[in-house]
Amino acid sequence: MTCREKIMSEDYVDYIWKGDSRLLIPYLQSMGICAQYINQDFITLYVDRASLGAAQRLLVGDYALPGCHTLLNPESLEQTGILAIQNQPALGLKGTGVIIGFMDSGIALENDVFRTEDGKTRVLELWDQTDQTGTPPEDIQFGSVYTAEQIDTMLAEGRTDLPGADQIGHGTKVAAIAAGSESEDGQFFGAAPEAQIAFVKLKQAKAYTRQIQQIPQNVVAYEESDIMLAIRYLDMLATRENKPLVICIALGSNTGGHTGSTPLGIYLNEFARSVGRAAVVAAGNEGNQGHHFFGVVPSVPGYLDVELRVGEEEEKEGFQLNLWGNAPGIFSAQVISPSGEVIPRSYHGTLDRRRYDFVFETTVLDVQYELSEFISGDERLLFTFRKPTQGVWRLRIFASGNLENSFHMWLPVSDFISPGTYFLRPDPNTTVTEPGNADYVLTMGGYDSGTFGIWLDSSRGYTRNNEVKPDLVAPAVNVQTVDRFGNPATLMGTSASAAVGAGACVLLMEWGIVRQNAPTMDGVIIQRFLIRGAKRPGTYKYPNQSWGYGILDLYGGFQALRNMASGG
């Protein structure tokens, strides 16, 4: 079996591995294991399931099995100052000379918003991870790459079986908001209508990965390793073209400790610190879902009860629940079922996993304990409920020591769990999804541009280690776009906010890198530029957990720059 076949096969498990890639890859290949380079610290490898033994005996952590991410979609340009910059005579920025990259559900290449006036494609290159009929990207061993010339030939032939087809429609809508061409009637155009588009259609997570993480087989889920490879591909493409690159990630996950310290978050921080690179990430739509709990264990009685309602849908399969304790606290848990059956408080080693079978319930509970998670150094308890009984469960959390007794708990993001499962006393803060908690990405929350109020579902900060996120907010309610059939449409959620933010970053890259006004511009410089120019309405204190540093205002950023230059 070739490496390409192993990557696509359900008989092989995908892993992210942290280590010296230069040493690891030759070693693994000598053992016949398929491995791919991501960067000097991370590789992804594909292991035969038959060699792993029974799945229930595997120790699975974020460092190994890739976390799964899903789409974040439940009159924007004028509100964000982008239209003013496009039309300002001295600037006239529209994204010329900049590549904007997407990794999403696909793109409708035939749509006019992704073509020039003479019908040519604006897509510089497309990598379809789901298509194994063509040539993969350089130094990547799966999927098929299509160049602009190949796409133009297909369009000229009137082909309907175009690569990167978007059966869901999310990727098309996001790309249109960020970089769509002006429509014939002039009623629609994206934030960066002259940018070159590069697109990665992500392949869906494997059934085995979903099974281990208790993610339904019928929902959209993308593996972290495939997203990281998409970023690597886009970065290599921009290097080859010698052009700046802005990537837009309208995906999110509750896997990880919400500090940005996931493999994807670490990789994005490195990416965004490179000259001519920036990453824009949706904050998520978890603010009003009841999926986060924050608690402090009191000294008396020495424990805190967390009540969790489990809905009927979860009885069929199950779900995962993460507890992250703030160091140097040490935490343990006792679990009480709706019928009153108790799993006793247990004490674990540095890395341990135990299975508990309930006597009076059909529930099976796996508890994985990590005293020091390998990136953050903080304690994590991973609870995997299989066929949990419907009703109210209690998790009694104990803490040892008298220094730091606070902890956070997260359920999966909305698409991975039913609306009937939630904490009875949830905390709407600290709900920004990964990788939006990474330091150097521009994280976009959402507001309603019609009411000028925060959008209720927009995820809120700060991070678990109290860093400011989201950075800014942009429109998230009924944002105008184009659907996969070419019809006028709207998009709801922070996916739309991220698309608007990515378009603004493209215009800044044109001003800074292409026009040489700021030749060392990177993601951090862009982040700081936009924070300075943000609108800060109302009587709120900024930054805050809902609005971050305020509303995206690209024109305000240039005004702030002018004032600084004039000493104002």
- At 357-414, the pLDDT tens digits run 998 888 999 998 888 766 667 788 999 999 999 999 999 999 887 677 899 999 999 9
Residue 207 has pLDDT above 80, yes or no: yes
- CA torsion sign for 428, 432, 438, 444 is negative
Residue 125 has pLDDT above 80, yes or no: yes
Write the CB contacts of 117 (distance below 8 Å, at least 6 apart in sequence). none
Question: How many Å apart are CA 258 and CA 236, to the nearest integer?
Answer: 28
What's the mean per-residue pLDDT of the chain? 90
Average pLDDT on 169-182 reads: 95
Q: Which two structure tokens, joined as six digits, stand for 525? A: 């410089």
For residue 384, give the nearest of 405, 358, 363, 402 by alpha carbon: 363
Average pLDDT on 61-74 reads: 72
Question: How many Å apart are CA 454 and CA 22, to the nearest integer?
Answer: 47
Fold entry, domain 71-287+434-566: Rossmann fold (3.40.50)
Q: Do domains 71-287+434-566 and 292-423 have the same CATH topology?
A: no
Q: 351 phi and psi, to 5 degrees?
A: -140, 115
Confidence of residue 193 (pLDDT cuts 50, 70, 90): very high
Model confidence pLDDT, tens digit, residues 44-57:
989 888 876 533 33
Cis peptide before 163 (omega within 30 of 0): no
pLDDT for 557 equals 82
pLDDT for 183 equals 79
Query: Which range has the worst mean pLDDT, 44-53, 114-123, 160-169, 430-439?
Result: 44-53
Give me the residue spans of the domains in the chain.
Answer: 3-58, 71-287+434-566, 292-423
Model confidence pLDDT, tens digit, residues 287-317:
999 999 999 999 888 899 999 999 999 988 8
Query: Which range has the worst mean pLDDT, 53-67, 189-203, 438-452, 508-522?
Result: 53-67
CA 120 from chain center: how many Å?
A: 31
Q: Are 393 and 310 in contact (CB under 8 A)?
A: yes
Confidence of residue 568 (pLDDT cuts 50, 70, 90): very low
Residue 428 has pLDDT above 50, yes or no: yes
Alpha-carbon distances, residue 60 vs 69, 83, 568 (angstroms): 17, 48, 55
Residue 345 has pLDDT above 90, yes or no: no
Model confidence pLDDT, tens digit, residues 239-279:
999 999 999 999 999 999 999 999 999 999 999 999 999 99
349 against 225, higher pLDDT: 225
Fold entry, domain 292-423: Jelly Rolls (2.60.120)
Average pLDDT on 140-169 reads: 96
pTM of the predicted model, to two decimals?
A: 0.93
pLDDT for 359 equals 86
Average pLDDT on 105-131 reads: 96
Largest CA distance in the chain: 75
Write the CB contacts of 484 (distance below 8 Å, at least 6 apart in sequence). 108, 111, 166, 169, 172, 173
Confidence of residue 84 (pLDDT cuts 50, 70, 90): low
pLDDT for 75 equals 42
Pairing state between β 99-104 and 196-201: parallel
pLDDT for 563 equals 64
